[in-house]
Amino acid sequence: MTDMRYIIIEDERLAYEDVRRMMERLRPDYQLVGWAQGVEQGALMLHETECDLLISDIRLEDGLSFDLFDQSGTVLPIIFTTAYDEYALRAFKVNGVDYLLKPISDAELETALRKFEHNAGLTADSERFDQLRRSYMEKRWKKRFLLHAGKKYKYVIDKGVAAIYADNKTTDLITIKGATYTINYTIEELEHMLDPAIFFRVSRGVILNINNIKETSNQKDRLEAVLKVPLNRAIKGGTSNGEQVPVARERRKAYLEWLDM
C-alpha cells in the first residue's frame, strides 16, 4: 500500500525518533508529513495537513491525545504507542487500530501496520471495527493505587476505594476506612481505568464504589446515593457532610441500570 501519509504525535524526541526510524525500515514508501508534541500543536497540524494514519502517544506534554481527537473530530485510524496500559478500552472508541506498550518492537509495529492496511477506511461505527474493539476490551482494570502518607508510601486495592472526588485543583481518594489521600489522576482518566462493574461516575466530580452505596433516595425527581463512608466534604446539592451525593440528571438512567447490572 503506497502513497500513505502519516503523522507522529509524541512529546518525547527519543521516542519520536524510534518510531520514525522503525517506519523508515518497515514502510519506506510511507510519507511522514508531521510531528506534533502536544494537543494544541496536534490540533493545528490535523487542521492543516492531510494524512491517512496517526501514530500517537497518549500522555502528551499538555494533556491526553484523546483531548486532541475529541477537539478535532478526527476519524483517522490511530496506532497508539504508550507506556500505560489503562487506556486500551478508551483508545478503541476513537478509531484505534492497535495499542502498543512501550518500548515497542519492529514486529509489534509491523502487526499494527498490517491491521491498518487490511482495514483501511475502517470507521468506529462499522461492524468490523466493533469486532476489533471488542477483542481488546478484556483489559486489565486498575487494581491498586499508590498513596503518599507523610514519609511513607502505601497502597490500596480497588475494592478498598470507597469514593473518588475531584474539584478544580485536586483529586482525592477516600478509602473504605475513611482515610483521604490526594492522587495524581483526573476524574476523566479514572473513569476509563476503573472496573465499571464496581465503579460509577455519578457526577462531574464524583466516582463511587458500588459497595459504598447504602441506598439511593428518590425525592422530587432527584436521586441521591446514600453512602456508608462519607466524602468528608460538602457536595453541592447534597448533605453538608457528604453522606448523600446527588446523581447528575444526565447520568440517572445509566446509574439505575448500573445498580441493576
Shared domain for 111 and 149, answered yes or no, is: no
C-alpha cell at 122: 475502517
What CATH number is associated with residue 10?
Answer: 3.40.50.2300
Shared domain for 121 and 187, answered yes or no, is: no
Burial string for 115-143 (b: 16+ CB within 10 Å, else e) reads bbeeeeebeeeeeebeebbeeeeebeebe
Shared domain for 57 and 157, answered yes or no, is: no
Shared domain for 126 and 74, answered yes or no, is: yes
Q: How far is Cα of residue 31 from the mean position of the Cα atoms in its chain? A: 29
What CATH number is associated with residue 153?
Answer: 2.40.50.40
Domain housing 55: 5-135
Number of compact structural domains in the chain: 2
Shared domain for 50 and 22, answered yes or no, is: yes
Q: Cβ atoms within 10 A of the Cβ of 7, count?
A: 23
Shared domain for 195 and 218, answered yes or no, is: yes
Shared domain for 155 and 120, answered yes or no, is: no
d(CA 100, CA 123): 20
Shared domain for 12 and 118, answered yes or no, is: yes
Shared domain for 157 and 107, answered yes or no, is: no
C-alpha cell at 71: 477537539
Shared domain for 127 and 187, answered yes or no, is: no
Shared domain for 151 and 118, answered yes or no, is: no
The per-residue pLDDT string of the chain (261 residues; one tens digit each, 9 = 90 and over) reads 557 899 999 999 999 999 999 999 999 999 999 999 999 999 999 989 999 999 999 888 888 888 888 777 777 889 988 887 666 666 666 667 888 888 899 998 998 898 888 765 444 444 544 554 455 444 557 888 989 877 888 899 988 999 999 987 789 999 999 999 999 888 888 887 888 889 999 999 999 999 999 999 998 788 999 999 998 765 555 555 568 899 999 999 999 999 987
Q: Give the residue from 135, 156, 172 where a domain finishes.
A: 135
